[in-house]
Chain A
Amino acid sequence: GQQVMQIPQYQHVQEGEDFTTYCNSSTTLSNIQWYKQRPGGHPVFLIQLVKSGEVKKQKRLTFQFGEAKKNSSLHITATQTTDVGTYFCAGLSSTGFQKLVFGTGTRLLVSP
């Protein structure tokens, strides 16, 4: 079945450093969504990418969807302590069952 992997599994940065998490799907995706889950909280939707090669920005966050629509990345510039949490990508397969498959997640810790 469809699998979505994320790397790294965990990253610890100093406040002000940049951070990137990568998401790779075993199948072509029709779209990809990104979520953030704070410790003790629930996943919160950040953004959805639909087009091949799409790039979207939200303040310090930059999201990319690969040309082949099988991978994606989230880059945070100049991290802040408020960025702490686990970032998940979630892919919707372009064929077969329409269900979101969540990536394994990248846990980000930011030290002041």
Chain B
Amino acid sequence: GAGVSQSPSNKVTEKGKDVELRCDPISGHTALYWYRQSLGQGLEFLIYFQGNSAPDKSGLPSDRFSAERTGGSVSTLTIQRTQQEDSAVYLCASSLDKDSYRANYGYTFGSGTRLTVV
């Protein structure tokens, strides 16, 4: 597609429920990232997928968070047993493969999913 697509744009869920957030990256982009943006905070790195390599999960805040990327394209971020502190905007970004110093590092972000846990 023309850009990074995220769905849903808004999600309200009850505390304790599981949620799935979807990201459709730009076609041909091999790198995919998830970030969390809380009110007044910066962009907190969660997880990074690069081609067929094992994902970098170092930013996931707890074992309630997980993500997968099927077929090197669409990614799903799952939050189990949601808590109120999980309320935030979840942003997905994709970029071209960046094995080369001259490669394009630039990220293209989606508009995010605003998650509210009540």
Is the pairing of A and B real?
no
Interface residues of chain B, those whose CB is within 8 Å of chain A, are none
